[in-house]
Structure 1
C-alpha cells in the first residue's frame, strides 16, 4: 500500500508540450551548489509567533539583498526548500518555515487549520525573522497561503512566486488532478477514519508514495533520499497532532473552495499588487498544469514558467530552472525600486520575541 492508494486518483497525463506556454524570462546568473535531496537542511530555530512555536531554517545570504521566505505545501515541511534555498543563497538569505502543525512547529491555537490562519502566522514570522518586505514563495497549499499574505499584508511582500498553487479545480473532466473523493473529509466524523488510515502507512512506504506522486520523474529519487524522508516521517508520527494537522489543513483548504467572495482564490489573487511568477510542472499529478494559464491570469502582474517533465514540487525536482525564473523576477523588482509601503489595518502587530529553541 502506498500513500496514493486510498486518497489519490491517477491524475492527468503528462503534457510536456505545454512548456510552450511559458512567458517568463530566465537568467543565467551563477547559482550556488545544488545539494542532493538527501542532504539535511540547516538547523531550525523556534520563534514564538502569536504564542506558538514556529520553526524556521535559514540559509544565509548577502545582507544587503532582499530576503526570501519559503512556505511549503500540505504534508510538507521547511526542508522541502533545502535545494532551492541553497542555490539561491548567493543572491538572498532564505528563511523556510514549518507551518502550524507541520514539521517542527506547534499546532495552531484551538486547532484551527486554514489558509487564512496560516497566512497570519506567515505574516507575523516575516515581521519577526525577516523584518519585511521579502520575496515570498509558496508551493501547493503554501501557494494559497502566500497569496493570502500578499493580498492582506502588501507592505511585507516585494515579489510573489507560487509553485503549482492548490487552486480549485471545478472542471467536469475525468483526468483532473486532485481526487474528488477527498471531499468526503468535509463530512462530520470522517476525520478519525482518515487519521487511522494515515497512521497505518509505514514511514518508508509513505515516503516512496509521496515521491511517486509528487515527482514528474520519480526515478531521480534515490534509496538514500527515501531513507532520510522515512526517518522524518517516523519522527513526526510520534507527535500527537500530526494526522490531525494533515487532515485539518486539507479540510481548511477544501472548505475555502466552497466559500466564494473576498476570501476566494480569484478575489485574493486579484488584490495582489506585486509582480508574480507562477511555476508549474507538465507532469503534475496533483494540480493539473492545464490550470496554469488561468491561474497566472488571476494575478494582475504575472508571468508563467512551465517546466517540461517536472512534477508538483519544482523546488525539489528542478531547483536550478526554478531559481533562474525567480532571479529574473527579482531583478525586475529591484530595477523598479522600493515599493510603496501601505498600511493595512488587518496586519498582525509587530512582534519582538527571542528564538526559544533549536531543532
Structure 2
C-alpha cells in the first residue's frame, strides 16, 4: 500500500484534465493505492492522539465531501476518514470494473485491512449504507458501531420519486439521459440533485451550492462518470434482488454492532416507512427520525446527527454523560477532560 497526502483549502488531487478537488479548511486528502484499486481519502487531524477511528462512506453519485459538515462536529471524539468509493469523488475506477454493492464493500474492507484501523465507527449514507451493512455483516471484527443515514435497503414498493434513479440501471438509459441533458449547465444539474436529496433545498448555503457546482463540473469532465453511475445503480438493483444469506435484510439481521439509524420524513429516495422495518431488523439499534430532513440528513442536520451519535457512544460506555471521552477498556480507566 502507498499513500500520498495533499493538505490545504483546495487540493489538486485530480488528473491534469480535470478541475481540482475542493477540500474544506482543516481537511486533508490523500491517495491510497492498493493492488488493483486506488482510493481517495479525506480526513481531519484528530483533536488528540488515541481517538477511536471512524470511516464515512457516501452514496450513489456522492463523494467524501458529503461528510464535511458532520466530520468536524465529531472530531473531538473520533479520528475520522471519509473515503471516495471506486469511480466516485477523486477515486478512479477499479481495475476489475466491479461496481456492485459487494465490490464497493470489498474496497472498504481492503482499505480498513491495509490501514489496520479496525474496528471503526462505520458511517454510511444511501448506497454507502448498503455497503456499510454488508461490511458489518461479513466482517464484524472491523466495525465498532454502525451509523446508517437513509440506507439503500430493499423496498417492496419503491417511491415514484426514486424511479428515475433506479432507471439508471437499465441498459441504454444513461446514454439517453446524457444526450437529452447535454445542454444543461452544471448548476442546473446540481440544483436538480439538491432538490431530490434535500428535504428543503433552501437549507443549502451559497458556499455549499458553489462547492457542489464545482464538484459537478469536475465530475462531468471524467470519462468514466456515467459508467460509474450506471454500474453502481445496477449494483444496487442487483443487491435488492438477492435472496438468502446474501440478501441485505438478512445481512442486517446478522450485524452485531450497535446501530444508529437515521431517516428523513421528506426523503424522496429511501422511504420513511422503512425506518421501523430497519429498527426491527438490526438487533441492537436505535432510531432517529427527522420529519423535515431528506436523503442526506448528515448534510441537512449535522448537529442533530452528531448529537445522536454522541448519545450512542454514551450508551456504549465510550463517552461519559458530560461529554468527556472514556478511555478504551484494557488501556486505562477514568475519563479525559
State the TM-score, normalizing by the size of structure 1: 0.78
Q: What SS does the corresponding residue of 1:251 show, helix, strand or coil?
A: helix
1:179 aligns with 2:165: no
1:67 aligns with 2:37: no
Query: Which shows bigger deviation, 210-219 or 66-75?
Result: 210-219
Task: State the Cα deviation string for residues 281-339 of structure 1 (Å, max 9, x = none).
Answer: 11111111111110121111111001131111011110010011111112323459769
Q: Comparing both structures, which one devotes a greater share of its residues to strand?
A: 2
Distance, in Å, in 2 between the alignment partners of 1:44 and 1:131 is 17
Task: State the Cα deviation string for residues 115-168 of structure 1 (Å, max 9, x = none).
Answer: 101001111112334621100000011000000100111111110010000122
Q: What SS does the corresponding residue of 1:111 show, helix, strand or coil?
A: coil
Residues 182 and 206 of structure 1: is their aligned pair in 2 closer, same or farther, counting only changes over 3 Å? Answer: closer
Alignment of 1:243-258 (within 5 A): 243-258=226-241
How far residue 46 of structure 1 moved from its aligned partner, in angstroms, is 0.4
Residues 301 and 143 of structure 1: is their aligned pair in 2 closer, same or farther, counting only changes over 3 Å? Answer: same
Unmatched tracts of structure 2, length 5 or more: 1-21, 320-327, 331-337
Distance, in Å, in 2 between the alignment partners of 1:169 and 1:240 is 32
Q: Which has the higher contact order (CA 8 A, sep 6+)?
A: 1
Match of 1:28 in 2: none
Alignment of 1:7-22 (within 5 A): none
How far residue 187 of structure 1 moved from its aligned partner, in angstroms, is 4.3
Match of 2:43 in 1: 58
**Aligned residue-pair number:** 299
Match of 2:314 in 1: 331
Distance, in Å, in 2 between the alignment partners of 1:198 and 1:45 is 33
Equivalent of 1:77 in 58, 63, 71? 63
Match of 1:233 in 2: 216
Distance, in Å, in 2 between the alignment partners of 1:228 and 1:164 is 23
Match of 1:285 in 2: 268
Q: What SS does the corresponding residue of 2:214 show, helix, strand or coil?
A: helix
How far residue 278 of structure 1 moved from its aligned partner, in angstroms, is 0.3
Match of 1:306 in 2: 289
Unmatched tracts of structure 1, length 5 or more: 1-37, 340-359
State the TM-score, normalizing by the size of structure 2: 0.82
Distance, in Å, in 2 between the alignment partners of 1:198 and 1:330 is 45
Residues 55 and 335 of structure 1: is their aligned pair in 2 closer, same or farther, counting only changes over 3 Å? Answer: closer
Match of 2:24 in 1: 40
- Whether contact under 8 Å (1:159, 1:333) holds in the other structure is no
